[in-house]
Amino acid sequence: MSGSKKKEGEARGVAKPWGGRFSGKTDPTVERFSASVHFDKALARYDIRGSIAHARMLASAKLIPAEDAESLVNGLHDIAREIEEGSFPFDPALEDIHMNIEARLRANVGAVAGRLHTGRSRNDQVAVDTAMYLRDTSLAAQLGLLELRQVLIERAGEHVDTVLPGYTHLQRAQPVRLAHHWLAYVEGLTRDAERFADLRARIRFSPLGSGALAGSTLPLDRDHTARALGFEAPTRNSMDTVASRDLLLEFLSAAAICMVNLSRISEELVLWSSSEFGFIELADAYSTGSSLMPQKKNPDVPEIVRGKSGRAIGNLVSLLTTMKGLPFTYNRDMQEDKEPLFDSAETLRDCLEVLSGSFATLEVRVGAMAEAANDPMLLATDLAEILVSEGVPFREAHEVVGKMVGRCTQEGIALDSFSAEQMAEFHPAFTASAAELLDLERSFARRDLVGGTSRDRVSDALATTARELAAEASALEAAKAEDAGGEA
């Protein structure tokens, strides 16, 4: 930068908010480039909660007068109300939400506001705010996944006897119950919920008191603030505390995996609602029309969910890439952790909500599913297993039934059209006609293994899963109450 431009930049710049080290002002371009308040204001309630706990701890440790702490706490409550009401004057020149709150506090309570940052760095301040945000947003993900699974269980209970083809390679493979198919969704979503539960279990240590990287010479009571903010204990290493973002990465990973599962579920809603399948019809509230073709009813909701999975995957890769080359401890690159986190949290929340609504309101076309599952070819494996039950090696049985299928294909006949005599010609172990052997209900009844598609197994799975979800709902309500019980 030339001398004249440098002076011009300093003249029109903004005074630095953090004290006396700098005599020059920040260039407006740098101010705009480095500002984060437009997105990190999502941490406002956590920053205020952490600051209140810190102020009370400072008074308890005799580091500030009790009356000053009370003034700080009252001022912070006032700021919280302003933010809630939408009247808080966010200023990009103050960089981030933390400096915005501190500046507003100074305007409201005067010079005593300068006591609040005693023994605290923005590094541990950001870390504790983010930990509390992660704790809440992970719980929100668990609650959203619970709601979607509850809807799926309820709808599955309506369709224990609804039959459709199961697919491999998107080719009709074997008949299954719709309830069993939707229970498959529930299993994967349960693992997603468990990932967020695992993460919440790791967010149990409070970063507050770690300072910039080496703690503080002041007699801070880190146990006090940890308990006040709902943590089990303080973090055990100040450098790791401010250097690490693996909890965020874990959230982004869990969110990306979950979004991939939601994308696959959405893909089936898109396929099943097409004219080619015709298995379901999405409610008008979860569909859109065409700007040109008046006959169209488009499955936009599951399509958008499917598309948004790319955002979640990208957010994970973005932060992994940011973190991979950083030395310990804090580096300003780490400001880039917030936008991916907030975006994935909001994306996941919205996708879970709209899919819950979509499943709750969609119409199942039972007849279309039954017709698609009525092809006797879907029971070809049953014929091979009948031979196995008569002592025939499976590879031999597979070859025999393959020849039967080949004959059907060549002659354009159905697999259940062979008489008892013709069946005996294929293999003497067959003792009945194909029509007698290829019975759908008997096929289902024989699939009575754990995890199978017999009516009893599916009914048991529904009942077991419903009980598990009820217990999970109670546990999550308790977790919500516990999290809300921290110091305000």
Q: Which residues have a catalytic role annotated?
A: 169, 290
Question: What tokens were used for 194?
Answer: 């468990």
| DSSP string across 400-460 | HHHHHHHHHHHHT--GGG--HHHHHHH-TT--S-HHHH--HHHHHHH--STT--SHHHHHH
The CA distances from residue 232 to 207, 223, 453, 487, in Å, are 11, 8, 45, 14
Residues sharing a CB contact under 8 Å with residue 397, sequence separation 6 or more, in sequence order: 383, 384, 385, 387, 388, 427
- Positive or negative, the CA dihedral 176, 177, 182, 188 is negative
| Cis peptide, bond prior to residue 321, ω within 30 of zero | no
Tell me which DSSP letter residue 298 carries: B
User: Which of 362, 377, 457 has the alpha carbon at shortest distance from 412?
Assistant: 377
Strand blocks (E) in 150-253: 163-168, 171-177, 205-206, 233-234
Write phi, then psi, for 172 (nearest 5 degrees).
-60, 130
> Distance (Å, rounded) from C-alpha 179 to C-alpha 186?
10
Helix (H) or strand (E) holding 333: none
Confirm if 423 and 430 have CB atoms less than 8 A apart: yes
CA terminus-to-terminus distance, the chain: 48
> Distance (Å, rounded) from C-alpha 250 to C-alpha 256?
10
> Distance (Å, rounded) from C-alpha 213 to C-alpha 47?
19
> Distance (Å, rounded) from C-alpha 335 to C-alpha 28?
19
Give helix 122-157 / helix 178-202 axis angle, nearest 10°.
160
Cβ count within 10 A of residue 123: 20
Write phi, then psi, for 95 (nearest 5 degrees).
70, -70
Which residues on neighbouring strands pair with residue 171, listed in sequence order?
A: 168
Confirm if 332 and 127 have CB atoms less than 8 A apart: no
- Identify the three-state secondary structure at position 224: helix
> Distance (Å, rounded) from C-alpha 337 to C-alpha 130?
10
- Identify the three-state secondary structure at position 14: strand
